[in-house]
Amino acid sequence: MSGAGEEVVTAEEAGARLDRWIKRRASLTQGEIEKLLRTGDVRVDGTKVKANHRLQLGETVRLPPAITKPAVSAKPARSRPTDAADAEFLRGLIIHEDDEMIALNKPAGLAVQGGTRQGRHIDGLTEALSHKGHRPRLVHRLDKDTSGVLVLARTPAAAARLGNLFRGRDIQKVYWAVTVGVPSPREGQVRSWMVKGTGRGEQKEMMRAARQGEPGARHAITDYVLVSQAAQRAAWLALKPETGRTHQLRFHMQEIGTAILGDRKYKTAREVPTGCAPGLHLHARALVLPGGAATGRRRPLTLTAPLPPHMAQTFNTLGFIESEAGTDPLALF
């Protein structure tokens, strides 16, 4: 604190939205914060700003003295309280950690965030990994039934930097999938327009093909390459999404006639090979973060997640050998 009701933004919180920064210090609703900003009772470097203002290192935030005290939230907890077992569980998933991030190998079947009919989820457990008063924050998502690399930011500043990298497509992603059938050609790029369905029940949660210019339509691009195959029954593909649309990889694999094994939404009419494990066979194998000024890293960082048990079992059944993919996840492309 630099004075009564004033606080200087630290490096760990640089990049945070002002309203979220305030909520960590006071039990105020969003409406109450907006009012304080409109009246000028809260200012940044003496200037009135909006709630979505991104704080910069060294800026001074002036708060009314009455609210500069530890917040006692009147809101219900987002999930059950975390405990030592949660911390042990999450620690067992860590594949990389440093001052900026924690990377987990998310299990298939565990949701990333809460929602309808969701119970335990990653976002509800991250309190167990809090450090220096900061709870790790999600900076991207994986479907519930998709396993693999999931990145959490340790601080608001790290969340802002990493979030920008994900939104700007500066982070390269490689997924592994087992498909029913073998794609032709053996490698290529899938381009399509897709939009969220408007039907009833499950149809509302699925994407469908769309026309350019159709309301809500988004363009999606996926590169794929065949790593190995089991006759014409199944294939092991490496997938590299150039865009990040909901269900993009699952939708695109169904579009080219080789739906992902175990996908209960984007299904296939082909005969499924016997002896394969149940569950969606889609795994976020690797993330490659660039080096340079954008990340402050001297060289690129590759995060790699081991296969989940059900995919390892299917690999064994179909005769796929992981070493066939090599050690560089991007080399296949």
- What tokens does 172 get? 């390269």
314: pLDDT strictly greater than 70: yes
- Which range, 120-134, 226-240, 264-278, has the best average confidence (pLDDT)? 226-240
Mean pLDDT along residues 200-220: 87
pLDDT at residue 38 in the model: 92
- Which range, 81-90, 203-212, 220-229, has the best average confidence (pLDDT)? 220-229
Residues recognised as catalytic:
143
- What tokens does 200 get? 């009833």
Give the Cα separation of 150 and 320 in Å (integer): 25
Per the rule left: phi > 0, alpha: psi between -120 and 50, beta: everything else, 88 is alpha
pLDDT tier at 164, thresholds 50, 70, 90: confident
5: pLDDT strictly greater than 70: yes
- What tokens does 114 get? 């809460």
pLDDT at residue 4 in the model: 46
72: pLDDT strictly greater than 60: no
pLDDT at residue 109 in the model: 95
pLDDT tier at 325, thresholds 50, 70, 90: very high
Q: Tell me what the pLDDT averaged over the chain comes to.
A: 88
pLDDT tier at 78, thresholds 50, 70, 90: very low
